Amino acid sequence: MKIIQSPEEMQLAAQTLRREGKTTGFVPTMGFLHEGHLSLMRLARERCDVLVASIFVNPTQFGPNEDLDAYPRDFERDEKLCREEGVDFLFYPTPENMYLDGHSIWVDEESLSGVLCGAARPGHFRGVCTVVTKLLNIVLPHFMVMGEKDAQQLRVLRRMVRDLNIPVDIVPGPIVREADGLAMSSRNKFLSPEERQEALCLFQGLEKAKELFAAGERDAAVLKAVIREIIEQTSGIVDYIEIVDDESLQRFRTTCGEPVELLEKPALVALAVNFYGARLIDNAVLAK
């Protein structure tokens, strides 16, 4: 495995691979790798000649009161895991060589990014879209594997590559969970033992919503209320509980003038809950 810090060196290597006719798969991460990340690398490894992973804690997607400085980092451990998963190139740039002095160009998405996490984190998706565009221009992959846990991010980036004609396929990787259902996240390490147990409320709420949906419930307000009741039995503070169209991320229409949201198409149930130690997200798709 070759570790590269310079964007110019990585891009030159990527251009060489393209000329050689090699298929390149790419898994972008912010490091502190867990089984969820590794599952994406395995998915990519099956489909490509050359696997590139990146580790970059992108400062432009963090707000002024968010956990940029506290975000967990362990490069030596991450490097070892990447080697074990058969990564060929590990791109590990610094903020200074990703954002040069006077950086003034940004990539904004103006439809899907204003809701859910985007509503709570202004500027977050501008940072995400900008850094992923830069990474794609540097790594030049044929496809990029993204986890389904960050549901809004996956949909925003799909729209970005479509609208900007970026020649890359986005391959989704399923959510990887602990044995008890908690979605794997680098931020889970910040939970106290008590919060770790309480954090199961996200998974439990989603499972209850799926159960009710399977039994015929189609009123989004009812499903959201059930999820909220489960979460509010813990110390978690709800950031949002939303049920939206799985493609447009817009709420479902009201019917007959009544404030009732009926699920008419595949729906994304998305949650964000704050514990003292961490902000956790999770989701599920409801479809007939």
Catalytic residues: 37
DSSP state of 175: -
Q: Look at strands 169-173 and 50-55 and give their pairing.
A: unpaired
Residue 97 to residues 16, 69, 276, Cα–Cα distance (Å): 21, 18, 34
> What one-letter code names the amino acid at 217?
E
Query: From CA 37, how far away is CA 184, in angstroms rounded?
Result: 9
55 with 81: CB under 8 angstroms? no
Query: From CA 44, how far away is CA 87, in angstroms rounded?
Result: 10
Q: Is 162 exposed, middle or buried (0-12, 13-18, 19+ CB in 10 A)?
A: exposed
Query: From CA 87, how far away is CA 54, in angstroms rounded?
Result: 10
Residue 227 to residues 115, 187, 211, Cα–Cα distance (Å): 19, 22, 12
DSSP state of 262: B
Maximum alpha-carbon separation in the chain: 61
Query: From CA 88, how far away is CA 50, in angstroms rounded?
Result: 6
